[in-house]
């Protein structure tokens, strides 16, 4: 089942997992040590993130390591960027209005 990346990042635990493995590759146990939840719950979150291709797993010997898939994160950034541009335009307009008000008071 192909999941949507926005469904994956909607969950705060999955966002926290992404932040953890953005810094370094980690095993499921190392990830689970950062949460007050079961290892099984973390495995479910890892599965969803993997299905969305936000993280990838690499097997080294008997251990599995998870790392962030940067290209998929760029997909999220691209979607957010359209709103960033809208906000920047609105802030620029607000700056102009505030400058105008400030000039009128002088």
User: Does the structure show a pLDDT above 60 at 1?
Assistant: no
pLDDT digits (tens, 9 = 90+) for 65-96: 999 998 888 888 888 998 998 999 999 899 99
Interatomic CA distance for residues 37 and 100, integer angstroms: 54
pTM of this structure: 0.76
End-to-end CA, the chain: 63
Q: Please, is 51 exposed, middle or buried when counting C-beta atoms within 10 Å of its C-beta (0-12, 13-18, 19+)?
A: middle
Helical segments of 1-106, H only: 5-9, 12-23, 28-32, 39-51, 70-105
pLDDT digits (tens, 9 = 90+) for 45-61: 999 999 999 999 999 99
């Amino acid at each position: 089942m192909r999941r949507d990346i926005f469904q994956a990042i909607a969950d705060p635990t999955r966002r926290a997992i992404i932040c953890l493995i953005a810094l370094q590759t980690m095993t499921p146990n190392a990830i689970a040590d950062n949460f007050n939840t079961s290892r099984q719950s973390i495995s479910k979150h890892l599965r969803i993130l993997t299905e969305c291709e936000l993280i990838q797993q690499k097997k080294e010997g008997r251990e599995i390591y998870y790392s962030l898939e940067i290209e998929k994160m760029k997909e999220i950034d691209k979607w957010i960027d359209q709103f960033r541009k809208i906000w920047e335009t609105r802030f620029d307009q607000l700056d102009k209005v505030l400058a105008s008000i400030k000039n009128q008071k002088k």
